[in-house]
Amino acid sequence: MRPTQGAMTLPMMLVTVLAICSCGQGVASLETFTYYLHDSFLPPEATVAQVASANGAKVTAFDSPLRLGVDKESLLVGSGMGSITALKGINFITETHDITIPELKYQGSIAASGRFSFSSPSWQLAVTGGTGSFSGAYGHFTVSFADPNPAGYVLKYEASLTLPSVSACSAET
């Protein structure tokens, strides 16, 4: 018996669909790196401002430099922007970090959010996505005080991110 055209078409369609689906599946890699957010509370270079306050609640906005070290003269690698909402000692942060780290070949933004307490020695924020080198990223930041100076905190960000790799089927040239 000879196979019919329909019997041959189905296996070919399945092979084609599987090939197309596998092209979108690059191998993900866990990447870890550290950088520092430098806040300044003092004019004229203040990077943090309380923008609202009512009935014990506060909203604070920030746009602070990101550096590779604790020292304020260390290599500038981007900026961290966002807001903190606080009520009764519970803080919630939403932030985006625009980062360029040439040595690690990273360039893009990372979005993160979560609850935290300034009285804790460290806290974790969920990384919810990103752009550029961080497109499709997920993972977390472990944040701690590198320098709790009242004139401006330096916060250490230890990134632990899963980054999807570029697929072998991509059309890069």
What would the DSSP string read from start to end of 112-131? EEEEE-TTSSEEEEEEEEES
In-domain check, residue 121: yes
Residue 54 maps to a domain: yes
Residue 170 lies in a domain: no
Confidence band (pLDDT; 50, 70, 90) for 2? Answer: low
Only one residue has tokens 């092979």, namely 15
Residue 171 within a domain: no
Count of C-beta atoms within a 10 Å radius of residue 130: 23
Q: How many independent structural domains does the chain possess?
A: 1
11 SS3 class: helix
pLDDT at 13: 52
Note whether 41 and 150 are within 8 A (CB).
Answer: yes
- What are 34's two structure tokens? 């550290």
Per the listing, tokens 């979005």 go with 111
Distance CA 166, CA 149 (A): 42
In-domain check, residue 16: no
Residue 146 located in a structural domain: yes
Question: pLDDT tier at 117 (50, 70, 90 boundaries)?
Answer: confident
Quick one: pLDDT at residue 90?
86
Q: Which domain holds residue 137?
A: 27-164
Spacing of C-alpha 149 from chain mean position: 25
Of the listed ranges 106-110, 132-136, 153-157, 165-169, the least confidently predicted one is 165-169
Tokens of 110: 């990372």
CATH number for 99: 2.40.480.10
pLDDT digits (tens, 9 = 90+) for 151-172: 999 999 999 999 987 544 444 4
Looking at the domain assignment, is residue 112 inside a domain? yes
Please report whether residue 20 resides in a domain: no
